[in-house]
């Protein structure tokens, strides 16, 4: 009888835990898709909640959210978009915070092709330079700022190959469709995996800081799992994971 009672009690605890587990609809900037996949595993173990993730360009997500897309949390590649969504009534006031500081890298899949000062940009040894679309991707905006700061924007504009997201810009370079490109350092700083090719970590003085903010959207305001995810991103465990992927911490 005692054994049966213990079994019933254990089953009740497990059922209660499962009943409180939820799902979060997350829109994540393409540069953070890799880190979020790792963080999602740890978050699921810690909370029981799971994530349903869509990755893409922050500007595209803004348009989709305004049009009624059912995302509950946005992990943006900037701080302007979450702030704008709050002002326009699509996100919960005071919920936004910076979860990472993005770093821009000039990268080539060819070893030794990119030098330590990025002087390769001023040369004639390449035909194509990949960047993310500056109209919708903050990393693309940052790339333009670097070229302008170096006095190369007009010269290199005919050689630009524009990806819809930073992930697509990375793909252009990795497949050889562009000899080099501006990508996120997180795309090269995969924990436990050495970076391929050659790269230049662009000095932060050449572009505006890429403060990446998270925000709770109105569709997720009543979802405890959404609030739990945002809280988890502030934990030491999540911050250590973010830093391991090459981001700065706020």
Q: Which domains does the chain have, with CATH numbers?
A: 2-101+210-244 (3.40.190.10), 104-201 (3.40.190.10)
Residues 6+ apart with CB under 8 A from 55: 27, 28, 29, 30, 32, 33, 36, 165, 167
- Binned at pLDDT 50, 70 and 90, residue 21 comes out as confident
20 confidence band (pLDDT: 50, 70, 90):
low
Per-residue pLDDT tens digits for 135-170 = 999 999 999 999 999 999 999 999 999 999 999 999
Contact 250, 51 (CB under 8 A): no
pLDDT of residue 190: 87
Asked whether the predicted pLDDT for residue 205 surpasses 90, the reply is: yes
Q: What pLDDT, on a 0 to 100 scale, did the predictor assign at position 11?
A: 29
Q: CA-based diameter of the chain, in Å?
A: 83
Q: Is the pTM of this model over 0.85?
A: yes
């Amino acid at each position: 009888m005692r054994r049966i009672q213990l079994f019933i009690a254990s089953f009740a605890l497990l059922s209660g835990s499962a009943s409180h587990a939820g799902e979060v609809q997350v829109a994540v900037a393409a540069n953070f898709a890799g880190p979020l996949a790792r963080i999602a595993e740890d978050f699921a173990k810690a909370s029981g909640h799971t994530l349903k993730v869509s990755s893409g360009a922050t500007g595209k997500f803004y348009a989709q959210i305004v049009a009624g897309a059912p995302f509950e949390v946005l992990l943006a590649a900037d701080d302007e978009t979450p702030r704008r969504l709050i002002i326009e009534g699509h996100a919960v006031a005071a919920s936004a915070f910076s979860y990472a500081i993005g770093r821009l890298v000039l990268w080539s899949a060819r070893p030794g092709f990119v030098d330590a000062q990025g002087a390769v940009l001023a040369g004639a040894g390449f035909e194509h330079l990949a960047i993310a679309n500056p109209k919708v991707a903050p990393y693309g905006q940052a790339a333009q700022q670097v070229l302008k700061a170096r006095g190369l924007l007009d010269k290199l504009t005919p050689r630009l190959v524009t990806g819809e997201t930073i992930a697509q810009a990375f793909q252009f370079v990795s497949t050889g469709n562009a000899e080099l490109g501006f990508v996120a350092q997180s795309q090269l700083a995969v924990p436990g995996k050495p970076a391929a090719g050659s790269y230049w970590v662009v000095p932060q003085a050449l572009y505006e800081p890429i403060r990446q903010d998270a925000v709770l959207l109105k569709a997720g305001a009543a979802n405890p799992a959404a609030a739990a995810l945002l809280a988890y991103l502030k934990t030491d465990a999540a911050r250590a994971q973010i830093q391991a992927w090459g981001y700065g911490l706020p």
